Structure 1
């Protein structure tokens, strides 16, 4: 059934978001990240760990100290992408009012996404191999860098013995993980799901690869204006790192335990372009299919959508194709933002972090600005927020698209 005008849809598949945890370039913690995004303060800056130039502009998590947050011994055994996830997951669980000491771990799922795993560990240990030989390579190389350890270590930390998996759909990974966790809840495979993504791909090799593809912004002399989604002068993305984790529960279960519902996850759409390894389908057919599927899953019409948190990478082709899809599917022009103008592109964690920002927009009735957007590309016909805008949001969608033509769209409704 469709939601009435101004009223959020209430499908039978009602999933509550009861907790949020964030570690982003906007800050450590949900409150800090949300403040920075709403203020429109770009996080991009020269990275002293990288050569100057296009590969040397990044959006790092400010002041992240794994040893201080997790303990020295534990931090030394974890790659940075896993450290981020453990900090975000701990915040999300606490925010949901849950205590792992008292839950039934067999009914708790962990579903996280990442695009790469631990390249920082791989690159460091490869240097050890070349310099000192194979007998000096750390025995922790594989346990630290394997992508599945993201969910495995989170389960160990929290005593979650239910379904446990990592999904990899490139820059759609975090959103795909959240949608997959929703499916597990609806199938009654679990009662609680920790879902999201984490990424720490800012390394010399990875950044060189992105640069060789021509994907990065060239504004090495003006980092604060490098990430500019939908702007006529956009020229590439700024790589970022971080993690976002949501706690999901069936709405009835959340009500039964008296939990606060921050928003409801009411729809999920996924698709493949089956077109090209890096470029989107020229008409956006796959992205459109995912968006329409998410709305159908939510029992909503396009006119129900009040806000879109766009993928909005600040690359020439991706922004144009996404905008064309939005104009075609949502001709009533809901208010669009891309929080990548502040955070940069968190790659496999982007969909999770942006899902969290979408939940916060719905909860607080506030759309953050698209930082860096000064002049909308004349080929793009969307209503883009350039300042924080108070707005009642019965229904919002969050778009995530990735290399390989993998698309995921999440739909969130007001509680």
Structure 2
């Protein structure tokens, strides 16, 4: 089971190399922070010339808005508050009759409302994947003070959209195939193709808001959203856009999606305790929990954001994408694809490994997957006394193509609030994991640089870096 899911479900570990660093790690596990002097001493052991960050305001990229659709609702603050509380959003499925399925639970969104964002007729026609995208996208634009009236005063040929999906409109596709088989091709809805294809989220959001800049989707399984952030940032850096709406959306909690992952033997089968099923790094983990939702960021050049007086939430420093070129679902045992991706991300961001002190891990709760990333991480981070990592999926499940979008928001909220959400269900930690996973209870932590990792079937690796914005 573990090998099937490994590429889409890796975890993260860092190991201290000397006794002093090990003491610091133990202090962190007990809720204490190592002193800054220790961090400086730790950094001094690595004589690496500090890389240079981007200084050109046309190429510096800031985050000016965020929008979310999640198991905890459609409000960013509520979403993060629930994460900080350590609340599980994993419940028994009631979107369809799952009584005959060997897995009967998911991170299912309930009581979703698109009122005020999608008109009634379109709302009834749209696949949930695109409903989530439109609501999260428009909420992000509103958060960035880019409502329709303001957008109409701007050059919208320089505002683009890259919101991807791993699966696309799965329910629309499944219903269309069912209609074809049972009733013939004449009974297929005319929306079958448009609402199935993965580019439609970006397209509909652009149509809705009149955004005429670069527009497409990326579909790289569970690495999708980070790929979109990376691509969007590069459009701004190349001068092709001033603003990009970027992220991921997914709605695969349906018979086809759940049944397909059951066939892959990738999912936890803890039907008796769904809220305990997603348990990254725990020795009793048995697979990931399928989730859904959307996470969207407004990425903008510093120059443009400053000119319009935008509220800057955080800075996107850089990112990278690589491929294992190894196997459809299994990661490379040597972790080369992942470690090279992290290295390339830090290079693109102008960040040294010593500066990173928080990692939002891909950690999906599979046996081999959670530790596969460990081998790669050990090659990059040699000193981890000030480092913390956590697993957002422990509470919301694995949002597949949307996962990176949801986790980017968690990273940015950690930067803004100074609090890291816990990794819940940490009852029997893997002995190799000797860095602070923020087990079960939130912790205060001043984030210097955060990286967010996402990896997908096909060997797709993606890493992005965020930091507090400083002039």
- TM-score interval for Structure 1 and Structure 2 normalised by the shorter chain: over 0.9
Matches within 5 A, 1:7-406: 10-12=53-55, 13-48=59-94, 49-52=96-99, 53-66=101-114, 69-99=117-147, 100-333=151-384, 334-386=387-439, 387-406=441-460
List, as ranges, runs of 4+ consecutive aligned residues in structure 1 with deviation greater than 6 Å: 4-9
Aligned length: 412
Mapped to 2, the partners of 1:407 and 1:315 lie a distance apart of: 17
Mapped to 2, the partners of 1:75 and 1:196 lie a distance apart of: 21
Mapped to 2, the partners of 1:388 and 1:10 lie a distance apart of: 31
Q: Structure 1 length as normaliser, TM-score?
A: 0.95
Mapped to 1, the partners of 2:115 and 2:173 lie a distance apart of: 20
**Change over 3 Å in CA distance of 1:142–1:406 after alignment to 2:** same
Mapped to 2, the partners of 1:309 and 1:355 lie a distance apart of: 8
Mapped to 1, the partners of 2:52 and 2:123 lie a distance apart of: 43
How far residue 219 of structure 1 moved from its aligned partner, in angstroms, is 0.1
Contact map agreement 1:240 1:343 (CA 8 A) in 2: yes
Contact map agreement 1:273 1:280 (CA 8 A) in 2: yes
How far residue 103 of structure 1 moved from its aligned partner, in angstroms, is 2.3
Stretch deviating more after TM superposition (101-110 or 305-314): 101-110
Mapped to 1, the partners of 2:135 and 2:294 lie a distance apart of: 9
Stretch deviating more after TM superposition (128-137 or 38-47): 128-137
3-state secondary structure, aligned to 1:126: helix
Contact map agreement 2:117 2:134 (CA 8 A) in 1: no
Cα deviations by residue, 1:272-323 (Å, 9 ceiling, x for unpaired): 0001101111121111111111111111111100100000011111110113
Contact map agreement 1:172 1:406 (CA 8 A) in 2: yes
The structure, 1 or 2, with the larger RCO (C-alpha pairs under 8 Å, 6+ apart) is 2
Larger radius of gyration: 2
Mapped to 2, the partners of 1:330 and 1:366 lie a distance apart of: 22
RMSD of aligned Cα (Å): 1.8
Cα deviations by residue, 1:49-92 (Å, 9 ceiling, x for unpaired): 14235432110123113467522201123211010011001111
Structure with greater proportional strand content: 1
